[in-house]
Amino acid sequence: MLYVEDSDDVREVVTALMEMSGHEVVAVPTAEAALQLLPDRRFGVLIADVSLPGLSGVDLMRQVLPAYPDMAGILATGYGNAINPKSLGLGVRVLPKPFEPEVLEQMLRDIEAGVPAH
């Protein structure tokens, strides 16, 4: 999975938790860094914070998911219900921050099982 989070502390903790759960995680601090990785690597899931410096997580999803239709998207946001995933039209899941690792883990299991985003 590709994880985009600008907070160093959050990025390190979530990456460590996901790796302990058996996931392979590539973590970067910006959407621009994520875009540089995509041509050379295949990722099943893109997790991005909504508020990133430069290109936002929402804009990243809008740019990446149509180009990589097999990739699932999860937007992490501290803005509660301000993000309507259906308005993106991309089958994106929204992960409210702060979140419990179990909530993210359940989303990842749903993606692996082919459960569509709500």
What are the residue boundaries of the structural domains of the chain, listed by start? 2-112
- pLDDT score recorded for residue 83: 61
- Predicted local distance difference test score (pLDDT) of residue 89: 61
| Residue carrying the six token digits 């390190």 | 12
- What percentage of the chain exceeds 70 in pLDDT? 89
DSSP collapsed to 3 states, 25-70: CEEECCHHHHHHHCCCCCCCEEEEECCCCCCCHHHHHHHHCCCCCC
Residue 54 · residue 40 · CB < 8 Å: no
Q: pTM for this structure?
A: 0.91
Q: Which CATH number fits domain 2-112: 3.40.50.300, 3.40.50.2300, 3.20.20.140, 3.30.470.10?
A: 3.40.50.2300
- Dump pLDDT digits (tens) for 67-90: 998 999 999 988 656 566 566 666
Classify residue 114 by burial, with Cβ atoms within 10 Å: 0-12, 13-18, 19+: exposed
33/118 Cα distance (integer angstroms): 28
Give the mean pLDDT of 38-46. Answer: 94
Residue where the block lists tokens 């995509």 = 38
Digit-coded pLDDT (tens) for 44-71:
999 999 999 999 999 999 999 999 989 9
Strands of 2-4's sheet, edge to edge?
26-28, 2-4, 45-49, 72-77, 93-96
